[in-house]
Amino acid sequence: MAKKKKAVSGVNSDINVTPMADIMLVLLIIFMITTPLLQSGITVNLPRGANLVDMPEAEDREAILVGMDVERTLFIWDEAFGDRDELKKQVEYLRDFNAQGQAYFKCDAKVSYESVVAALELIKEAGLDQIGLVIDEK
């Protein structure tokens, strides 16, 4: 007796997941590259404290964020200012666009207390009387 051969059709009913895996890998790479770029300002080792108040407005791009790194270089967001007078002028300029008169200050934990006080006085001289200190939670 002769066996009959089944007709082979060109249609494949299996799901092909290779394109989906390729898209997911591309999205993963994009997120891995862009996530560090979303961090705003300079990177410092913040001092730690308890009894913190959550201030999401400190991360707002319209807020005035002054920072100081280990070398005591002053920054507004990520722009460095070597001259204190130049920083004071920039803070005064930004103050006009900040309706609340608020600034946020973040500083490396290894910076001396004297340098922190001098920077806070500079911000206060520029006309901002409400200064929030940015710290990490213990």
81: helix, strand or coil: strand
CA distance 42 to 67: 7
Q: What is the pLDDT of residue 53?
A: 72
User: Who's near 77: CB < 8 A, 6+ residues apart?
Assistant: 40, 41, 42, 61, 65, 67
Place of tokens 């002054």: 66
Give me Rg for the CA atoms of the chain.
27
Which domains, from first to last, does the chain contain?
48-137 (3.30.420.270)
Most confident of the ranges 31-35, 49-53, 119-123:
119-123
pTM above 0.75, yes or no: no
pLDDT at 29 over 90: yes
The pLDDT tens digits of the residues spanning 95-136 come to 887 767 788 888 888 888 898 899 999 988 888 888 888 877
